[in-house]
């Protein structure tokens, strides 16, 4: 097992060497193409987040709302990496790693906008719902079924196996830490069994049940963690100037460069931020594509806010908790993130803080397990419509959730660090080709807003060269009565809406 661990560590370091500049440069490219959408359209993002889902002819919700899709993707983002991952990054790279997390989030927000807008553009109908994501985008936008299959298999391996097991492991670690190791191995196994049972109860209800659960769970857990972090920052307010000084001072520090630690600091900041906010990883697009909205750009907006919530808010809270306890933390390769975060909270406010953190971690990680199931199931659906295969995936997923809860975390973290940059490479490569379409859609949205209209996108508005857009008939972008009026106005009455292949 140690030999496998060493090989995975070496592979991860080799992969991440070139991936850091790729991630940052891609964010710069997308920022330029969208004219800084992550900053210039911020008020519009908040305005559209609460848009209700579109209605069918019976007045029923046609699919997942903007907020529900945001919550599903936020559930996937806000999890283990926000606490254990950030604490590990600081332990390895020092306070300066937090600065590079922030940089990655600001640039990654543009990446998330492009990823989610493109996913919305190429979503497909699935009964009374929508599906999409990187696999569908590869097939519909790039004309590559082989690329779609490769992407789907990678998501299954990453979200359906690796990430899922890692999140489940965090749940059991949090429970054991909160109990002060009372119960030991028995408590770990019992916790793993409970998580697996709760997962089975929700995933068998499908994507809408996942959306309903995460829609109230994600805001609650983020608010709870914000309150805990605020209490700790106020308790240690005298350390706040020192923490900021260490973050910015070490970000370009001479001592880090002289000690050869600058590369480690940047690597840890970029890697943990990306693993946390999932911008460019190809996962958020699945949730974005499921939403029923009047314009693809609206889900791009929602996913930008998801990146900000994840990294600039939740990750920053973890960083301040850890650094307020130890501003000079860094250079500790054997440190365990969950333990560091737990000890920092207990040092700041006492043992009750460890219990609260444990409860928050359980909710964070559990909601991420649900999101990982959704990502995996979406790609099983892409590969096959066989219901027996879908049921088998659900059973395997629940079993892996249990196993992840009882395994040692080091191997799971190392495996994730190897797999997710490969998935990100597939995603960013396709987005560099398709990003001009996201730029066109954003300009279309802005133009309609300047004209004082509620922006609506339908396939007949798109350039004729765009192929593979199958889910943007008037019925996909408007309520039933609006769609009927639009068809009459544009001479489309009696024509059928495009149907997904």
Report the C-alpha gap between 214 and 313 in whole angstroms. Answer: 18
- CA–CA dist 348, 321 (Å, integer): 8
Q: What are phi and psi of 291, to 5 degrees?
A: -80, 150
| Contacts of 179 by beta carbon, 8 Å cutoff, 6+ apart | 187
Backbone angles phi, psi at 473, to 5 degrees: -70, 165
pLDDT tens for each residue of 213-241: 655 666 677 788 888 888 888 888 888 88
Please name every residue paired with 61 in a beta bridge, in sequence order, or none if there are none: 55
pLDDT at 499: 39
* Residue from 39, 409, 74 nearest 211 by CA: 74
187, 176 in Cβ contact below 8 A? Answer: yes
Six-digit token pair at 419?
């797999």
Provide the token pair at 456. 């609506």
Cα–Cα distance between 281 and 416 in angstroms, integer?
Answer: 12
Q: 337-349 and 86-93 helices cross at what angle (nearest 10)?
A: 90
Confidence of residue 195 (pLDDT cuts 50, 70, 90): confident
Q: How far apart are the first and last CA of the chain?
A: 45
Question: So what's the pLDDT on residue 493?
Answer: 54
Distance between CA atoms of residues 366 and 167, nearest Å: 7
**Total residues belonging to the chain:** 501
Beta bridge partners of 125: 130
Percent of the chain at pLDDT exceeding 90: 22
Measure Cα distances from 269 to 23, 78, 93 in Å: 12, 16, 8
pLDDT surpassing 60 at residue 248 = yes
Question: How far is Cα 287 from Cα 299, in angstroms, rounded to an integer?
Answer: 9
Helices (H), 184-332: 184-203, 207-235, 240-251, 254-258, 262-277, 284-289, 297-307, 316-325
| pLDDT for position 117 | 95
Cα–Cα distances (Å) from 15 to 22, 210, 216, in that order, read 11, 33, 37
Confidence class of residue 27 from pLDDT cuts 50, 70 and 90?
A: very high
Handedness of CA 354, 360, 362, 364 (dihedral sign): negative
Tell me the average pLDDT of the chain. Answer: 81
Q: Token pair for residue 181?
A: 């190791």
pLDDT of residue 490: 66
Q: Phi/psi of residue 108, each to 5°?
A: -65, -25
CA distance 276 to 78: 7
Please tell me whether residue 55 adopts helix, strand or coil conformation.
Answer: strand
The pLDDT of residue 146 is above 50: yes
pLDDT band of residue 59 (cuts 50, 70, 90) is low
CA angle 198, 209, 424 (to 5 degrees): 85
Which residue bears the tokens 């920092």?
A: 344
Residue 154 banded pLDDT, cuts 50, 70, 90: very high
State the Cα–Cα distance between residues 468 and 493, nearest whole angstrom: 22
DSSP structure string for 322-370: HHHH-TT----TT--HHHHHHHHHHHHH-HHHHHHHHHHHHHHHHHHHH
Question: Would you state the structure tokens that stand for residue 439, as one six-digit string?
Answer: 């730029």
Cα–Cα distance for residue pair 210/205, rounded to 1 Å: 7
Q: Summarize pLDDT for 315-324 with one digit per residue, the tens.
A: 888 888 888 8
pLDDT top residue among 364 and 28: 28
Residues 59/464, Cβ–Cβ less than 8 Å: no
**43 has a pLDDT exceeding 50:** yes
Nearest to 27 by CA among 442, 317, 304, 251: 304
Q: Is the pLDDT of residue 142 over 90?
A: yes
- What is the per-residue pLDDT for 114? 96
How high is the pLDDT of residue 427? 93
Is pLDDT above 50 for 495? no
């Amino acid at each position: 097992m140690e030999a496998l661990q060493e090989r995975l560590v070496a592979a991860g370091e080799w992969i991440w060497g070139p991936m850091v500049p790729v991630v940052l440069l891609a964010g710069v490219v997308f920022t330029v193409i969208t004219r800084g959408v992550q900053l210039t359209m911020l008020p519009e993002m908040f305005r559209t987040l609460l848009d209700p889902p579109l209605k069918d002819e019976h007045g029923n919700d046609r699919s997942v709302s903007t907020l529900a899709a945001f919550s599903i993707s936020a559930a996937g983002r806000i999890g283990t990496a926000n606490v254990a991952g950030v604490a590990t990054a600081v332990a390895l790279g020092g306070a300066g790693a937090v600065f590079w997390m922030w940089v990655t989030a600001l640039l990654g927000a543009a990446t998330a906008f492009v990823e989610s807008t493109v996913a919305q553009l190429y979503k497909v109908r699935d009964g009374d719902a929508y599906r999409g994501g990187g696999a569908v985008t590869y097939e519909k936008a790039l004309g590559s079924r082989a690329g779609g299959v490769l992407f789907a298999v990678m998501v299954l391996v990453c979200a359906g196996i690796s990430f899922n097991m890692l999140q489940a492991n965090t749940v059991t670690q949090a429970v054991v830490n909160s109990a002060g190791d009372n119960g030991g191995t028995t408590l770990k196994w019992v916790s793993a069994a409970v998580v697996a049972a709760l997962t089975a109860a929700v995933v068998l209800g499908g994507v809408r049940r996942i959306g309903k659960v995460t829609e109230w769970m994600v805001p609650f857990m983020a608010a709870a963690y914000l309150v805990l972090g605020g209490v700790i920052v106020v308790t240690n307010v005298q350390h706040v100037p020192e923490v900021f000084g260490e973050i910015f001072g070490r970000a370009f520090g001479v001592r880090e460069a002289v000690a050869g630690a600058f590369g480690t600091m940047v690597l840890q900041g970029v890697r943990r931020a990306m693993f946390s906010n999932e911008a460019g990883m190809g996962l958020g697009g699945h949730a974005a594509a499921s939403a029923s909205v009047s314009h693809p750009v609206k889900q791009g907006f929602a996913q930008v806010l998801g990146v900000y919530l994840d990294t600039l808010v939740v990750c920053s809270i973890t960083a301040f908790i850890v650094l307020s306890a130890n501003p000079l933390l860094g250079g500790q390769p054997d440190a365990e993130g969950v333990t560091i975060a737990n000890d920092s909270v207990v040092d700041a406010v006492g043992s009750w803080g460890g219990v609260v953190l444990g409860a928050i971690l359980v909710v964070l990680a559990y909601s991420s397990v649900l999101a990982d199931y959704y990502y995996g199931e979406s790609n099983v659906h892409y590969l096959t419509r066989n219901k027996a295969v879908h049921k088998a995936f659900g059973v395997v997923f629940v079993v892996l959730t249990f196993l992840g809860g009882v395994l040692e975390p080091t191997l799971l973290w190392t495996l994730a660090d190897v797999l997710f940059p490969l998935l990100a490479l597939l995603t960013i490569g396709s987005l560099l080709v398709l990003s001009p379409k996201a730029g066109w859609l954003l300009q279309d949205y802005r133009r309609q807003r300047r004209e004082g209209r509620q922006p609506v996108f339908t396939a007949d508005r798109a350039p004729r060269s765009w192929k593979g857009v199958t889910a943007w008939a008037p019925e996909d972008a408007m309520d039933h009565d609006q769609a009927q009026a639009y068809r009459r106005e544009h001479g489309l009455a009696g024509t059928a809406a495009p149907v997904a292949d």
